[in-house]
Chain A
Amino acid sequence: MSARSNILGKLRNSLAGTTPRPDEFDEGLVTRPWRYAPEDRIARLRSLMEAVHTEVHQCRSDNWPELVADLLNKRNLTNLLCAPSKEHGRALQAHFEATEQKVELLAYDRPVEAWKEELFWNVDASLTGTLGGIAATGTIVLWPDRHEPRLMSLVPPVHIALLRASEIHDNLYDMMVAQDWAAGLPTNVLLVSGPSKTADIEQVLAYGAHGPRELIVLVLEDV
């Protein structure tokens, strides 16, 4: 007998003669307390994210590359990992070329094995898009793909994320349902609600545990 059949056998045995309980999910409990007027969503997301040391900027969807250049220069960062194959990557590249920025733009265009050392130690910052945001918890949602792989938002010490104001949902449940996540998830989905942190020593909060020390969210409002 395999472990599998033993375990399942014991469980079935213990359930003999019982009926499964009905599905008692109550969506009201996870949505009603977490509803916001559309004009309050950004403020809610912003205040929660700022409370955990996220830098949030509101900008227009056509001038954000300027802000990115500013943010990088202010920190004296020398390079930025971004996806030239994505629209926002191209917009950034165009702006950096036009304004002759010194910051070098890097692309995650080969398997991690080909440049692990460099990725782990020499990349200063990264910029990725997001699938949307969640006002209730102050969260951005990432679906990494081949253009913006999983480690891109994790390894560099500074992560800049672009979030469209129109894609901020009230709560996680609404977002899941609106985008029909249950129909199929990518290999990895991430809900990110601030820079990496720990309170493991004396419960003192310290940022930059293993992931990014800084998370910067740019909320893009349509022009």
Chain B
Amino acid sequence: MNQRIPVTELAPDFRGRAEEALADGQLRNNFRVAMDSLMTKRANAFPDADEREGLRELGNRLKAGALSRLPDLLEQLEQKLTENGVKVHWAETVEEANDLVHGIIEARKGRQVVKGKSMVSEEMEMNDYLAERGIECLESDMGEYIVQLDNEKPSHIIMPAIHKNARQVSKLFHEKLGEPETEDVNQLIQIGRRTLRRKFMDADVGVSGVNFAIAETGTLLLVENEGNGRMSTTAPPVHIAVTGIEKVVPNLRDVVPLVSLLTRSALGQPITTYVNLISGPRKPDELDGPEEVHLVLLDNGRTGAFADAQMRQTLNCIRCGACMNHCPVYTRVGGHTYGEVYPGPIGKIITPHMAGLDKVPDHPSASSLCGACGEVCPVKIPIPELLQRLRQENVKDPEQPQQVKGGGAKYSRTERWIWRGWQMLNTRPGLYRSFLWAATRFRALAPKKAGPWTENHSAPVPARRSLHDLAARHLDNNGGRPS
């Protein structure tokens, strides 16, 4: 069985991985080409800027409105789903969620699981958890399948195998499945189709994520293009959906703008091939569909983000991936560099609540704050603003109570003192002038090494005379006139 192991060959820290990725020409090319094309597709899907902005604003309001009544909506969702015959489970941690899923599978003596694309199950590392307990959990999304076959993690939340090209996939299928090598994408997909069709048929349990959970009707909505989501949620006798608590929306009609924003932002499609609305298990007079449907609602740090009104906006996210497609950093270093389930801008703002900021202290600063992510986000999450906030949380005094899990990891007493000194210097004119006088007169003594800066740049040297000096002399020479 091919189970995913963390990408162990990579360097242990963000900087190291980034350097490796930057030196990998093939990887950079794969990402550059893919991101350019996704950006063009999105732009073409929103030909009318007013329409786009109106819809983004609506998307933002709908999500903010839903979050402002989140506990009530979750209860309503639970009640409606229960009426429809769906069993609802709650989990605070990924361990609890895995345990719940495992329990449901064990109750049916299940041994084979097929999974439609689900980022929450990636959070849970469900494949590994089940594999350790003798249950095969197979990814059925083509991209996820390829990644799983190669013991890797997805490098993009919508396009998991975007870091690979056809030649690499062909080699992989040849080595792992014994298929003849071909770089014809159609043939490669047909290999995947054949292999997985048998699995859909035999699976005891299907697992999926959820794009939107509708409280009003008790409905789980999933979007996809391949049909693997429909297969996973229809063919096996049991369907388990796993999702974060933030996915609930009040009304059925709310999904009209949200689905449109999602598919256009993610892939530039007016709609995905399938939009699958599931409102219950097979009824007594029906001939197919799962006999049991379960929904696992996972917290995993989301209530922590929710507790902070600014950070709460992170939970607007509809996982479209547009922020990473437009991110100049992501495009250059690729998804694996982030070392976490969610890469790119969304990863930077969500991971701290899940894993703790101390686990990803370099993430908030791995950004030029160019603002592209916030500009394209279909639900208008102010990502750059949240990154700045996380930079602040990163350097807070660790002795004090933290507002973000794992805050204060980058706190440095020296740095704090340097900034204090700098502040003093700049707020006392006398002191400032003497400093300036000394810095220009003794410029030859300026340090030749200035930390990591001088690894790639020459050290800054103060000018011979300060601008102040020069301006004063200029005015003197001109009898007090500016020119």
Contact = CB atoms under 8 A, between A and B. Distances in A.
Interface string A1-25: 0111011101111110011111111
Contacts of B62: 24-25
Interface in B446-482: none
B289 interface: yes
Contacts of B276: 188-190
Contacts of B285: 146
B146 A201 contact: yes
Contacts, number: 256
B283 A10 contact: no
B225 A198 contact: yes
A173 to B, nearest CB: 5
B181 interface: no
Interface in A186-223: 186-204, 206, 208-212
A56 interface: no
B355 interface: no
Contacts of A181: 217, 252
Contacts of B295: none
Nearest to B237: A113
A103 interface: no
B260 A30 contact: yes
Interface string A153-172: 01000000000000000011
Interface residues of B, number: 96
Interface of B: 30, 33-34, 37-38, 48, 51, 54-55, 58, 61-62, 64-65, 68-72, 74-75, 84, 90-92, 96, 140-143, 146, 159-162, 164-166, 169, 185-186, 188-190, 192-193, 196-197, 200-201, 216-217, 219, 225-228, 230-231, 234-235, 245, 250-254, 256-257, 260, 267, 270-283, 285-289, 297, 299, 303, 306-307, 312
A49 to B, nearest CB: 11
Given A200-B141, A202-B34, A203-B33, 14 more contacts: A3-B299, A11-B306, A14-B312, A26-B58, A146-B285, A176-B252, A182-B252, A194-B273, A201-B164, A206-B186, A209-B226, A209-B227, A210-B227, A211-B226
Given A14-B307, A25-B254, A194-B273, A110 B287 contact: yes
Contacts of B54: 26, 29
Contacts of A25: 58, 62, 251, 253-254
A203 B201 CA distance: 28
A196 B271 contact: no
A190 B231 CA distance: 13
Nearest to B91: A3
B405 to A, nearest CB: 13
A131 to B, nearest CB: 12
Contact of A196 (B75, B227, B253): B227
A138 interface: yes
Contact of A191 (B61, B162, B219, B275): B275
Interface of A: 2-4, 6-8, 10-15, 18-27, 29-30, 33, 48, 52, 108-112, 116-117, 120, 136-139, 145-146, 149-151, 154, 171-173, 176-177, 181-182, 184-204, 206, 208-212
